[in-house]
Structure 1
Amino acid sequence: MSESETHLDDGPIVVGVKPGIPLRIIETAERTAASFGCEVVFAYVELNSALVELDDTELRTRESLDPKMDDEMAGVAAEVGDMLEGALAGSEVSWSFRVLAGDPASALSRLAADLSSRMLVVGTRRHGGLHRVEEFFAGSVAKSLAMGQDRPVLLVPLSRIDH
């Protein structure tokens, strides 16, 4: 990539989603994609799964991000897919949905790299004590992506009314 080129020149927008995600994140991604004239790839990372290859030195394949899902995981993925279908009904933006495996920040980052994504879109953490405890133990996906990316990350703030 030359100095004059940026990730904003081409590629889709990758958006991290999960069950119950506020519509504000989906709408922000849709409007951003419309303004760029690009596709949106929504991605849900299944936490109860692992990557096919765990060693950074091994050859990675397209299948390595895809989890082997049981019925419960498939149900959650279907719920997220249905939510996206409803939120994007009538949208002129081309979009797709992926279910990934592993650590959310790593999986989203890797998908963005594999797709030559122009940017990532994720929500920030919710307010409140319970969410701070969750972030302490699990870490913040938004923070991990913002600190460890070579492409832009659009952070959509969540307010108290978004949950």
Structure 2
Amino acid sequence: MYEDVLFVSANVINHPVLGPVHAQMRAIYNISALANISGENPYCHWNSSYCGIVQHESFFKRFNEDSLEFYMFSHWDFNWQEQYPRWSINFILFQGKDVATVKPGDDEHQISIVIPYEQKKHSIAVGKALASHFAYMPQRKNGLSGSKEAYLIKMYADISKRMCYCAT
């Protein structure tokens, strides 16, 4: 169907490229507070624990308000206007043949930039495939740990219990 699409990503909460998309779509609460972080870009650096927490808390609020539609879009083309930026490969679909040339080292760079550029193909995120990436290592080192980590894990566990109708 999409012959020019090489890699497909979920619509990921706490994603360096999709975070600003979510902010523009008004999915993220307290966006003005993000702009006031000393020395930080208001669109959230991927290594900011504060921005990660705000993105997770926004998801919880939207989930509890039954307003996840604020996150939804058809698809997001990471390679719009033939640009090949780096994007996070946390939740992706691919065919084995398309990653056969990946060498040890920075696989994310190869998958998000090098391979699509060489093949002149696109990588997209599917809006209705909403997923959450808990934290990057720098976020954990910069404060998304301890009680903050426990709080977020509990919130996700509560959502899981509400959504999963499996036998206990």
Smaller-chain TM-score bracket: under 0.3
TM-score by length of 1: 0.25
The structure with the largest alpha-carbon Rg is 2
